[in-house]
Chains A and B, each alone.
Chain A
Amino acid sequence: MTKYILKRVLLIIPSLLLVVLVIYSLLTFVSFGKPFSLSLYRGDFLDKIFEFFHVQGGFFSRYVRYCWNVIVRLDFGSSAQTGMTITEELMPRLGRTMLLTVLSLITAAVLGIPLGIGAAMNRNNWQDNLASVSTLLLSSVPSYVLTIILVLIFALYLGVLPVSGIENWTSYIMPVIVTSMGSIAETTQITRSAISSVMNRQYISASKGMGIPSRQLTYMHILRNSLTPIISTLARNAAAVLGSSLIVENFFTIPALGSYLIKAVNDRNFTRVLGCSFVIAAALILINFAADLVNILIDPKLRASISSGKAGEV
């Protein structure tokens, strides 16, 4: 068990380096081999190694130096435009993106699960139908339209929430709603089907037959057993929510990784593009890792299949 987790931890750095290598190669390819400025610190022992192997200034040595600088010294270089180091630019933006992602996941759970329970408990009456209809509608509406509607209602007519930028905690409300929409719909559906299937299973009837007294026990029983697929689905979708938030950030002009990336690409500022992609990739890998940990924690079947030596992939 611990061996498996350890193996996954050790895989993080190589995966990250691989992703960076791919993007770095792409960028170099596009800039026709002209080295775009990475403005990185020199003069440490890497120089001596490169001298030893006679690989000064080549494609690969610049890649290695870049990775080294990033991982060891958290130095992504600096941008000529603002004079700040890219690290300084990226870190607060990373914070906002992660905040948005995490809040959206929590919202999806907090809103989706009760809705799903309601839909499962009351089959074929107005709650169930409402759920189906709203799922259909929501999946037909693009996120920017949703944004516009919310902005119209809450910002322009009611004047309650800010439209763009990050002023205080209220600025996060609408972006979180829009980002979590898809996850809410999916969580509701998964919850609904998980609870229905658990309710129909025979061992529930068996427990009823045994005379378990209170309704509370039955509900706890049902909930506990159906929680596993729900949470594992959420965990698996965490990466998609991150992707979603990158897009929604642009609608609300939130200064975070998404808008940063788009602007960097449009400006052809490859240093920024590389740094931003690095950070996004790192965030993704970490999110997936955390999601896997969560899955292992809550899913006994997964634990069993790992312990019995099956390959760690599903």
Chain B
Amino acid sequence: MAEAQIILEARNLSKRYPVKKTGLLKRPSVLKAVDDVSLCLREGEVLGIVGESGCGKSTLARMLAWLIRPTSGSVLLLGEDPSGLSDKEIRKLRRNIQVIFQNPHASLDPGRLIRESLAEPLQIHRICSQEEAWQKSRDLLHMVGMDEDAMDKYPEELSGGQLQRICIARALALEPKILICDECVSALDVSNQAQVLNLLMDLRKKLNVSMVFISHDLRVVRFMSTRIAVMYLGRIVEEAGTEELYLNAEHPYTRALLSSVPAANPALREMRFRLTGDIPSPVDLPPGCSFASRCPYAKEECRQWVPERLTIREGHDTLCLRAGEINWKE
């Protein structure tokens, strides 16, 4: 089976922020929001990225969308590296990758009508006339299951769920190949979540859009994704296909995440294990594996050497020195 094309690739992506400290210390401390992340998204895939708050998911999302410049590494969109391109060319390429943000109320200009916000991408890129833009906006609204009379409303008059669907509509206006969803259902209540997720699944099938789906909620990520990458303190600690991850997670952190999901089936609850220790501050990470301080399986080497990415099985990578050694039944 021929592998689908890679349309979005992150190579050794890092984002570091200097943090000022009091006077006498010479070197400012460094906050490593994203540390040497490499990912790729193939056509037709949904790549899920999951992790706790503060692990760097949003920073990663913005770098993938070319909204933040990485400190090192590069993001290749359809093979193009933005650092070599002019602003105009970058803006043109932006049509291929769109973002849906977390807070639907803040993602739309409160001073503009919905129809204006929807038509904005078309007007910016001068795709069609004003009249055609209104028509297309109407079609987009229908596509996300909303009624036409939302066109002439202001964002403040609509609910979170409706607004998020409008954001999806706006993102689809330019017919992008890639959609990045950054915690896009986290701000919604459960019933709205389900609606939006189902909508995304439908659209994905209909329009053949590839997605990067980011969330802290494992159940949601599992529902949406074909592949999942687990993130911890700026590093991808494990990456595998969805089912493979669920059945054969090899990183202790992934196991901890999986076991923290409330399971309806009591038989599955036996697999819980607790994490010990405190999460270290992302500023000035301790040497070695960043998870070592909480890992029940950590050994001496774990605290000294930063683990390298290992391919355990085909399509399944993990970032653990003890990969493969650990007997999970203990």
Contact = CB atoms under 8 A, between A and B. Distances in A.
Whether A and B touch (Cβ < 8 Å) is answered with yes
Interface of A: 3, 307-310
Contacts of A307: 22
A166 to B, nearest CB: 49
Interface string B3-26: 000000000000000001111000
B21 to A, nearest CB: 6
A183 to B, nearest CB: 36
Contacts of A308: 20, 22
A307 B23 CA distance: 8
Nearest to B21: A309
A59 to B, nearest CB: 41
A303 to B, nearest CB: 13
Given A307-B22, A308-B20, A309-B23, 6 more contacts: A3-B23, A308-B22, A309-B20, A309-B21, A309-B22, A310-B20
Contacts, number: 9
A307 B20 CA distance: 12
Contacts of B20: 308-310
A310 B22 CA distance: 8
Chain B, interface SS category: loop
A228 to B, nearest CB: 24
Contacts of B21: 309
A309 B22 CA distance: 5
Chain A, interface SS category: loop
Nearest to A310: B20
Contacts of B22: 307-309
Contacts of B23: 3, 309
A3 B20 CA distance: 17
A3 B22 CA distance: 12
A308 B25 CA distance: 12
A307 B22 CA distance: 7
9 contacts: A3-B23, A307-B22, A308-B20, A308-B22, A309-B20, A309-B21, A309-B22, A309-B23, A310-B20
B178 to A, nearest CB: 39
Interface string B128-167: 0000000000000000000000000000000000000000
Nearest to B25: A309
The CB with the most chain B CB atoms within 10 A, among A3, A309, A310, is that of A309
Contacts of A310: 20
B20 to A, nearest CB: 5
Nearest to B28: A309
B209 to A, nearest CB: 44
B40 to A, nearest CB: 40
A120 to B, nearest CB: 32
A91 to B, nearest CB: 41
A238 to B, nearest CB: 29
A309 B26 CA distance: 12
A5 to B, nearest CB: 14
A309 B21 CA distance: 6
A3 B23 CA distance: 10
Contacts of A309: 20-23
Nearest to B23: A309
B169 to A, nearest CB: 42
A284 B301 CA distance: 64
> Nearest 9 pairs between A and B by C-beta?
A309-B22, A309-B20, A309-B23, A308-B22, A309-B21, A307-B22, A310-B20, A3-B23, A308-B20
A302 to B, nearest CB: 16
A309 B24 CA distance: 10
A310 B21 CA distance: 8
